[in-house]
Each structure stands twice: as C-alpha cells, then as structure tokens.
Structure 1
C-alpha cells in the first residue's frame, strides 16, 4: 500500500469512527452511507480502535468502583484496587485493565524511580496501551530473563523497552534466559556478574509491574515448554498451588509460597524479593483467575491489584465462603 492509499484508508476509518461514536449513527446507517456491508463497518470500527484512531476508556460509576475498592481495602493490605468494566472479549478486557494501570502508573512515577518489569500478556498490554505519557527521568528494568513466543512479544525486555519509549525513559536488559533446564544451569547463570548486577538493581526498584497466572494446563508457560501439563497438574492437585506471581513464584490459596520443581528453572526476582519492593502492581484480567488473585492478595506481596469487576466480585464471594 502506498502513502496515498494509506491516507485514504486512514481518512475512511476516521470518518466512520466519527459517524459512529460522535454522531451516534448506527452501523446500518453507516453501511448505507458508504455503500459497504454492515459487517465491514464493524471490522473497520475495530481497526480504528486497534490503530489508535479511537481510544475508548469505559469506567464504572465512581460510587460503584469505590465500593468494590473499599471492600478490597478492608480485607487486604492494599494501596489501591483498580477495577475495570467487564468485557466478554478477552483482548478487550485486557485492554480495559491495562488502561487503568497505565493511568495509575503515570501518576505514580517520579523522576529517579526504577520499575522492575515482569512478563506476560497483561503486562505487555500496559506497554502497548495507546495514549499520551508524561516524560519521566526513570528506568524500566527486566525483573526476569528473556523468552520467545511466536507472534507475541510478552518477554520482560520487550515490555521494558516499550514502556521506556512511552515515558522517554531508560531501559535495562537482564541478559539471561527466563527458563533453564535445571537447578545447576540456573546456578551458573546467577553467578554471572552482569546478571547479578542487573538483578541487584531490580531488587532495589521502587515499583514492580507483574502479572498473575493461574494453574492452567494451557497456560503460556506450558506452551513455551517451560513446564509440562503434568507438572502443572501435580503442583495444583498435590501441592495446592492456585497461581503464580510474575510467571514463576507459586503460592496456595492461603497465600503461602509453595516450593515446586518449577522454582529452580527460572531466572528472575523471587516472591520474597518482590515483597521488598515498595509498590508491587499485579495485573490479572482473565476471568479464570479469581482463585489466583485471592491467593496472591493473601501473600502480602501485592500492593495494587488490577482486574475486572467480575473477578473482583468472585474474590469477594470466595472470601464469604472461605475460612
């Protein structure tokens, strides 16, 4: 596509977006006006959102959000609970949660701060969120080594670089793989001076941005080949593991750390090291993660939780039924 065609495409997307969102025309009306199908109108509106022509920030009524947050603050030692509106589409849900985290991070960041960055789709959604970011003289640093997944940039280094670009800040790479085959290999990497110094700086971070995972046989950890489905199942059934913080720190429903065979394969900050960071922001947008959220909140590691209203209500209901 040449520049002229790109401009035409962008103009069409803008016209359709204005007609739908500003002039409140129906998709049927827009289809007739532009002589295209209603299905194509829907696709173009989705493309307008994806390309940043349209940015949607949906919020609950402040009283509703405040009530949920206050209940969380009463039960857990939290600074904030960021509750996003529910959405059936998983990608849209992730973006809604990411929007809240981005706004909060923008107000929290101060010059001179360091942010330890985790991995995963929820943290990546924060880094890819479209918006205007205040310039900060701070540093984003990888809190876990690198990984690769076709078609998705979910590794900590990629996320850290994206965040640094948005805030016109600095970024530091952890020059190590996230996953190794055994404890001995991990020990060798952890003795490397460059790796040790980077992790030491990550341990002293002011903020950590991490994802929460659940014990799912189809999780990206299994898809990456880090752990087998059998190992995930064994940790869940036999050891009571309900989730992980940052992709590898495993815990049970009571929030206690669980020592699994998986703990000795990942190079990154441990749960205990994350606990020493003043503000740990944990993100869990998927509606399968209520149990993981509850366990993580009980661990004492999390200072700010970002999730959906559906997850928040489920967590509160679990509290009523749990001793």
Structure 2
C-alpha cells in the first residue's frame, strides 16, 4: 500500500515518540523538548497511537491470574466484586487469616460515616475482625444479623459486633437471643420483644452486611460446633438431602432457596430475602468444603461481594458454569 508523505511523516513521528516513551522511558516533557513539540501534542499523539492500535499493553504481575479469575467470577455469577486470595501454603488456618485480611481491606475501603453494619458470626468473620487496625475512626453502628450462638467468645456474633465497633470507633448493639430457639412459638415470643425488634430492624436497614457461608455436612461443621442444637436437630440437618449450606443459620438448597425445615422456622435473625435488599452484602468463605455452599449462596442472589481463596474460587467457577455436582 502506498503511503502519502503526510501519512508517512505522521506515522514515523508517532513511532519515534512511542520508542522514546515506552522503550527509552523518557517523560512526555523530555520527548517534547527533544522533538521541539509541546507536551500537550505528545500526549495527544500517544492517545492517537493507542486508539489506532499501535500499542498493546500486556501486564505480567505475579498475581495477574488472580485478577483474571476475579473478573471471570464477576462476569459468570453476577457478583459486583470478587476478591481472590492466593494459596501460599497448605496451612488452613493461615489461609483463613489471609482471607480475613483481604476482607478487612475491602471492607474498610467501602464503609462510610453513618453506615449501619450488620454481621453474622463464625471463624472467617472472626479472622476479618482480627485484621481490622484498632485506630479507625468511623461514625457507624454495628449490629448482629442473627442471635447469639454457643461456642468460643471470639466467634460469637455479639462478641464480634462489639470488637468490630470498638476498632472502628463506632457503637454496637447486642441481640440478646439465641440464634435458634427450641420451638417456633419461642421464636415468635422473642421477636415480639421491643429490644429484639429494634436490633433486627437496624439490621434490616443496614448499608453493609458481613456474612459467612457455612457447610452443613459433615456433623463436625462449624455450624454444629457453635449453634446450640440437639443431636436430633443435627441428624435432621445432615440427613436432609436438600440442604447444602447455611447463611445466618438459614439452610439453603443448591439453588439458594431456603429449605423447608423445622430449623428455619426457629431462627432469630435477618431473613434471607431481607439480606438481598442490603446494598453491599459481603460473603466471606474459604476452603474446599465451602464450594457447594458458596455456589448455592451465589445462585440465591444473596451476595454482592465474595471474598475467598484461589482454589475455592476456581472450583466455584468451574462448577457454576458446568453445573457439575459435588
């Protein structure tokens, strides 16, 4: 193809500027001075080169594959944000701490003064709260999204709520009720109490929700370690073929639908449909036993954000796309 002189000169000038800018690492001001052109014209020609396809930018950072994985998760599942933590060893506890730290960073980047924050309990949320620096200054209110559970102090929802509020410099309220009552009637009586209603109403109007995503099998799952359930309840849950995970103690099936069970009729906490209405719902979960529960939570549309580890993210993505069962 014949190139008229003006085109040739223009292309040659752009090529020279590209070499100086990208290969010789000269600034736009330096290039302009050397070529007798204004910095504004150099900037305009660089933009023209990118628009005309003269420049291809390839990024080769150590964790670029994680950013690609995050974008794929967002595209396939409809998440607003995905945060994937690399696996740097075989220690599950260390991995949970890494996920908790990533969750803390994301959380602090997205909260604002005046926010109401509701949260659940559990190991991953405990790791997140532990990673929050104790010198934050936010005018926020932190409340439980469910009743308290028996177990260690550092994973109980009321304890986590109080610890998070202290670290953020905000205020907290406790929910003085069990996560699961002994009967539906007992639940109704508790929900009728003004103090319980006030806390759950705040949770219902939260701007940010922090939730764990739990497994329901085997019987050694964290849910059964911390919730005050009878052996009969535990057997009924683990033998229920529909239930594949839990959020705020609500059992969900593979499509994220609440399972029709006696347990779900006895929960004191935020309803899952109300969880969907919260503007920023951050789900935090890691390790392979959470793959099925995470997929269920995503299919149910409960999460805006997922923070997890690399291996779990890859498995979630593969099975979400293909529908391969566990």
* Unmatched tracts of structure 2, length 5 or more: 1-60
CA distance in 2, matches of 1:225, 1:89: 26
SS at match of 1:148: coil
1:21 is matched with none
CA contact (8 A) 1:106 1:133 kept: no
Residues 61 and 252 of structure 1: CA distance in aligned 2, closer, same or farther (over 3 Å) = farther
SS at match of 2:95: helix
1:114 is matched with 116
CA distance in 1, matches of 2:82, 2:227: 33
CA distance in 2, matches of 1:304, 1:279: 7
Residues 184 and 295 of structure 1: CA distance in aligned 2, closer, same or farther (over 3 Å) = same
CA contact (8 A) 2:216 2:223 kept: no
Q: CA deviation at 1:96?
A: 0.4
2:138 is matched with 136
Using the size of structure 2 for normalisation, the TM-score is 0.75
Give the alignment's Cα RMSD to 1 decimal. 2.0
Greater shift, 156-165 or 129-138, is seen at 129-138
Residues 136 and 218 of structure 1: CA distance in aligned 2, closer, same or farther (over 3 Å) = same
Residues 319 and 202 of structure 1: CA distance in aligned 2, closer, same or farther (over 3 Å) = closer
SS at match of 1:178: coil
Residues 186 and 284 of structure 1: CA distance in aligned 2, closer, same or farther (over 3 Å) = same
CA distance in 2, matches of 1:131, 1:224: 26
1:81 is matched with 82
1:322 is matched with 323
Q: CA deviation at 1:133?
A: 4.9
Q: CA deviation at 1:241?
A: 1.4
Q: CA deviation at 1:234?
A: 4.4
Question: Deviation above 3 Å: which 4+ runs of structure 1?
Answer: 130-134, 224-239
Instruction: Please show how residues 149-160 of structure 1 align to structure 2 within 5 Å.
Output: 149=151, 151-160=152-161
Greater shift, 205-214 or 119-128, is seen at 119-128
Residues 134 and 261 of structure 1: CA distance in aligned 2, closer, same or farther (over 3 Å) = same
CA distance in 1, matches of 2:85, 2:204: 29
Residues 83 and 229 of structure 1: CA distance in aligned 2, closer, same or farther (over 3 Å) = farther
CA distance in 2, matches of 1:261, 1:186: 12
1:91 aligns with 2:93: yes
Deviations 1:26-67 (A, max 9, x none): xxxxxxxxxxxxxxxxxxxxxxxxxxxxxxxxxx83421211
2:42 is matched with none
1:260 is matched with 261
Q: CA deviation at 1:312?
A: 0.5
CA distance in 1, matches of 2:221, 2:227: 10
Instruction: Please show how residues 268-283 of structure 1 align to structure 2 within 5 Å.
Output: 268-283=269-284
CA contact (8 A) 2:103 2:128 kept: yes
2:46 is matched with none
CA distance in 1, matches of 2:168, 2:293: 31
2:170 is matched with 169
SS at match of 2:137: coil
CA distance in 2, matches of 1:225, 1:74: 35
User: Which is greater in Rg?
Assistant: 2
Number of residue-to-residue matches in the alignment? 262
Residues 195 and 66 of structure 1: CA distance in aligned 2, closer, same or farther (over 3 Å) = same
CA contact (8 A) 2:153 2:159 kept: no
Deviations 1:171-230 (A, max 9, x none): 111122222211111111000011111111110000000100012211233234633566
Using the size of structure 1 for normalisation, the TM-score is 0.76
Q: CA deviation at 1:118?
A: 0.7
* Unmatched tracts of structure 1, length 5 or more: 1-59
